[in-house]
């Protein structure tokens, strides 16, 4: 429970109290209870979460939702909006980690494992991948890959537990066949790849990039990484 600094801290059994400086647009109401907004909660958790966890949470805030699935079309926050909020609180505990996380956040990750995969790929020396790659850019309903490299025609899909549902399996296979028919290599990753921090997955991605034809125009961008 948080209170403005002008008021005394909460001292009650079972409650952890904090005093904070919060602006009006960092507070909202739910069932009559004043709570911190999602972006402000992300900032407050910067003192407790690890950097990868904070990036995962931030990516969830800024991703573009699918209206037909979630009933909303606007993200919970934007990177520019989060940057403004961080500038308001230069001395807040955890602000340095929040700034580091903001620099690593990207729009396009649909899940925490996708974020962790992207971070693992960059940590392994791979070029930063594109996110939510459309097979045919700009065409409604075109299949998409979670991440990958369009110039190298490499699509990487992370299939979480909901992808085990029969209808989803059929949809995923149709998606992957569309990429393969267009000459792409498709790598499918699962929870087993997540378990080792995507070390094995990044090695597979490197091998796929090495085996692909490296034209003079693309070699310079990939030679050091792969």
Same domain as 210, residue 101: no
CA dist 217 and 168 (Å) reads 38
- Residue 92 structure tokens: 């807040």
- Tens digit of pLDDT for each residue in 1-19? 777 777 777 777 888 877 7
- Tens digit of pLDDT for each residue in 188-198? 999 999 999 99
Q: At what angle do helices 79-88 and 51-62 cross, to 10 degrees?
A: 120
Three-state DSSP state, 155: strand
Flag whether pLDDT at 86 surpasses 90: yes
The conformation of residue 133, written as its DSSP 8-state character, comes to E
Structural element, H or E, at residue 3: strand 2-4
Same domain as 93, residue 116: no
Structural element, H or E, at residue 185: strand 185-189
Taking Cα atoms as reference points, which of 169, 144, 170 lies closest to residue 156? 144
Three-state SS letters, 198-210: CHHHHHHHHHHHH
Same domain as 225, residue 139: yes
CA dist 11 and 150 (Å) reads 56
pLDDT at 167: 67
Structural element, H or E, at residue 186: strand 185-189
pLDDT at 140: 84
Three-state DSSP state, 89: coil
Same domain as 44, residue 23: yes
The conformation of residue 150, written as its DSSP 8-state character, comes to G
Same domain as 113, residue 101: no
**Based on the structure, what is the number of domains in the chain?**
2
pLDDT at 46: 97
pLDDT at 3: 72
Three-state DSSP state, 2: strand
Q: Domain residues for 124? A: 108-226
pLDDT at 165: 60
Same domain as 102, residue 113: no
> What mean pLDDT comes out for the span 20-29?
90
Three-state DSSP state, 139: coil
- Tens digit of pLDDT for each residue in 212-223? 755 444 444 444
Same domain as 157, residue 118: yes
Same domain as 99, residue 123: no
- Residues whose CB falls within 8 Å of the CB of residue 75, separated by 6 or more in sequence, listed in order: 61, 62, 63, 64, 65, 107
Higher pLDDT, 141 or 163: 141
Flag whether pLDDT at 54 surpasses 60: yes
Which residues lie across from 144 on neighbouring strands? 134
Same domain as 114, residue 87: no
């Amino acid at each position: 429970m948080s209170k403005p600094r002008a008021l005394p801290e909460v001292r009650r059994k079972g409650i952890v109290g904090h005093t904070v400086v919060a602006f009006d647009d960092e507070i909202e109401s739910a069932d009559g209870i004043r709570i911190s907004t999602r972006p402000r909660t992300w900032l407050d958790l910067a003192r407790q979460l690890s950097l990868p966890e904070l990036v995962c949470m931030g990516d969830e805030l800024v991703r573009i939702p699918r209206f037909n699935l979630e009933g909303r079309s606007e993200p919970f926050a934007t990177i520019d909006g989060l940057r403004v909020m961080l500038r308001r609180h230069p001395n807040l505990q955890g602000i340095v980690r929040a700034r580091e996380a903001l620099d690593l956040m990207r729009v396009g990750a649909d899940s925490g494992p996708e974020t962790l995969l992207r971070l693992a790929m960059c940590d392994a020396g791979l070029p930063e991948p594109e996110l939510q790659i459309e097979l045919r850019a700009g065409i409604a309903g075109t299949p998409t890959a979670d991440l990958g490299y369009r110039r190298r025609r490499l699509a990487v899909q992370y299939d979480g537990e909901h992808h085990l549902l029969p209808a989803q399996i059929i949809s995923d296979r149709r998606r992957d066949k569309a990429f393969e028919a267009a000459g792409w290599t498709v790598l499918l990753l699962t929870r087993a790849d997540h378990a080792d921090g995507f070390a094995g997955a990044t090695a597979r991605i490197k091998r796929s990039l090495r085996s692909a034809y490296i034209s003079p125009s693309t070699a310079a961008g990939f030679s050091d990484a792969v």
